[in-house]
A = this chain, B = another copy of it.
Amino acid sequence: MIADDHRRALVALLGPDNVLWEDGDRVSYESGARFDRGRAALILRPRDTQTVSAAVSYCVKHDIAIVAQGGNTGVVSGSTPDDTGEQVVLSLDRLTQRFELDRENRSLRVDAGFLLSDVNGRLAKHGLQFPIDLGADPRLGGMLSTNTGGSRFLRYGDVRQNVLGITAVLADENGTVLDLMSGLRKNNTGVDWKHIFIGTVGAFGIITECELNLEPLPLQVATALLVPRDGAAVMRLLAAMERQLGSYLSAFEGMSGNAIDAALVHVPSLRNPFSNGETAPYAILAEVSRDWPIREGEQSLDLVLETVLAEIWGSDDAPLADAFVGPPQELWALRHALSEGVKASGRLVGFDLSFRRGDVIRFCDHMKETLPERYPGIRICDFGHICDGGVHFNLVLPAETTFDAAAEQALRAYVYGTAVESFGGSFSAEHGIGRKNQAFYDRYTSDHRRALADGLKQLTSPARLGTVRFGSA
């Protein structure tokens, strides 16, 4: 734990309401979203950038390690303290003062502590959104520091593509405030430094404010559940839909039958969307959407989607085995329940992988052939974003399986090894890096890149910050 004089000094800097140290107050900041439990020395809850700077400066001068934390929804231990009880958690949860909408610029300058749901709730009445669609509800700072993608990447890109500017506090003796704030979309005046803070999980600085690009809310939406004829048909189906729907297509989410079944069992409010009641081995949630008001003489989107599906159905060697046009709310409720359902259905070992788009299904097929012989009883409950190559590759072992940490690491090594070495994929598509996958970062990152990270760390935040070691030491 932390010395009393440090605690008193930090209370003096932040105010007594903004520092927590009692066991009961700390606990929600010490536990991650998935199997994650550490112990914090203190929880700091600064309300503005200047106070973040003062707190960081104090900690650096006294060699106190800091872990920045947003909504604490991450699943790789990127924002929770380790079990030493020596790390201070710097939570962004009170950084919620500034919220400045610039409608002409279609942008929002905002403190990094806002929840995604709050941001989009406030923007809805203006017909605007920050267009990152996630199952979880993180805070903006956490979203930027992990560069989350989500389900509508196809249409809007990831967080990185929708950030115009940031303010970051560096872990040096001054708690330097680095002003990279900008409301500009085109600005090529040297190194675009914000990109070294986006996706690097708070290792090089703490993002305290940002300016976000906003997009119009969709005004028409239609969805369908599609059953591809077989694995090889999935990419042909995507190609046909991209060709015939162009930028209408806003999501193309793959869901294994195992994941759907897990959700249907464990989330009883869901309705089985297959009209015959039988879950298909694999299904696609396809969404089309338009962000303009429907006009007289224009076909409804449901009709457009039905027409296109009928055309695909009627084509030679049709990639479709079945299709159900259904209400968006119901189908998205199923999609967003997959994670919870899978987690509840046994001993989960989760992976967040990405590939060239054509390799997602090939990888999953390969795993279906090789995993069950190594791990009897294993269920592959994959789902994900076929259209951008991402897949949440979840493995569920029977609850009674004895599976210690070493066995889990061996399974992880096998899956990551196959994904990265045999299929040229990524071992972290959108969850970022944390203690949970540090070993695999170390394995798959070249010495040269780690040396570059060492240099960058010295340049920006030489002190102890974050849960990750991107460098070599």
Q: Which residues of A contact B (CB under 8 A)?
A: 102-107, 127, 146-147, 149, 153, 157-158, 160-161, 176, 178-179, 182-193, 195-196, 198-200, 204, 216, 219, 235, 239, 242-248, 290-293, 295, 297-299, 304, 307, 354-358, 385, 388-390, 424-433, 441, 444-446, 448-449, 452-453, 455-456, 458-460, 470
B453 contacts A292, C-beta separation under 8 Å = no
B-chain residues with CB within 8 Å of residue A179 when the two chains form the complex: 446
Known: A244-B292, A246-B219, A291-B246. A453 touches B190 (CB 8 A): yes
4 closest Cβ pairs, A-B complex: A104-B358, A246-B291, A195-B195, A246-B292
Known: A290-B246, A456-B459. A356 touches B183 (CB 8 A): yes
Closest to A106 in B: B357
Known: A191-B196, A388-B185, A452-B460. A357 touches B105 (CB 8 A): yes
A185 contacts B291, C-beta separation under 8 Å = no
B-chain residues with CB within 8 Å of residue A161 when the two chains form the complex: 157, 161
B-chain residues with CB within 8 Å of residue A190 when the two chains form the complex: 199-200, 433, 441, 445, 449, 453, 470
How far in angstroms is the closest Cβ of chain B from A189? 5
B470 contacts A188, C-beta separation under 8 Å = no
B193 contacts A445, C-beta separation under 8 Å = no
Neighbour of A356 across the interface among B102, B357, B470, CB < 8 A? B102
Neighbour of A470 across the interface among B191, B204, B244, CB < 8 A? B191
B157 contacts A426, C-beta separation under 8 Å = no
29 A/B residue pairs, CB under 8 Å, sorted by A = A102-B358, A105-B356, A146-B188, A157-B161, A161-B161, A185-B388, A186-B388, A189-B441, A189-B444, A189-B445, A190-B441, A190-B445, A190-B453, A190-B470, A191-B196, A191-B199, A195-B196, A216-B246, A216-B247, A244-B292, A246-B290, A247-B247, A247-B290, A247-B292, A248-B292, A295-B299, A297-B299, A298-B298, A455-B456
Please, how many angstroms separate the alpha-carbon atoms of A218 and B187 in the complex?
Answer: 27
Given contacts A147-B192, A193-B452, 11 further A-B contacts (CB under 8 A): A102-B358, A104-B356, A146-B188, A184-B356, A185-B389, A186-B389, A188-B433, A190-B470, A191-B196, A192-B195, A246-B291
B-chain residues with CB within 8 Å of residue A430 when the two chains form the complex: 186, 188
B-chain residues with CB within 8 Å of residue A470 when the two chains form the complex: 190-191
Closest to A290 in B: B246
B-chain residues with CB within 8 Å of residue A446 when the two chains form the complex: 179
Please, how many angstroms separate the alpha-carbon atoms of A295 and B160 in the complex?
Answer: 35
B448 contacts A178, C-beta separation under 8 Å = yes
Please, how many angstroms separate the alpha-carbon atoms of A395 and B199 in the complex?
Answer: 41
B-chain residues with CB within 8 Å of residue A147 when the two chains form the complex: 188, 192
B-chain residues with CB within 8 Å of residue A196 when the two chains form the complex: 191, 195-196
B235 contacts A216, C-beta separation under 8 Å = no
B-chain residues with CB within 8 Å of residue A149 when the two chains form the complex: 186
A184 contacts B104, C-beta separation under 8 Å = no
B-chain residues with CB within 8 Å of residue A290 when the two chains form the complex: 246-247
Most buried by B among A246, A299, A453: A246
Please, how many angstroms separate the alpha-carbon atoms of A247 and B456 in the complex?
Answer: 39
How far in angstroms is the closest Cβ of chain B from A322? 23
B-chain residues with CB within 8 Å of residue A200 when the two chains form the complex: 190-191
Neighbour of A448 across the interface among B146, B176, B456, B458, CB < 8 A? B176
Neighbour of A389 across the interface among B105, B127, B192, B247, CB < 8 A? B105
B-chain residues with CB within 8 Å of residue A204 when the two chains form the complex: 191
How far in angstroms is the closest Cβ of chain B from A161? 5
B-chain residues with CB within 8 Å of residue A103 when the two chains form the complex: 239
Please, how many angstroms separate the alpha-carbon atoms of A335 and B155 in the complex?
Answer: 28
A426 contacts B184, C-beta separation under 8 Å = yes
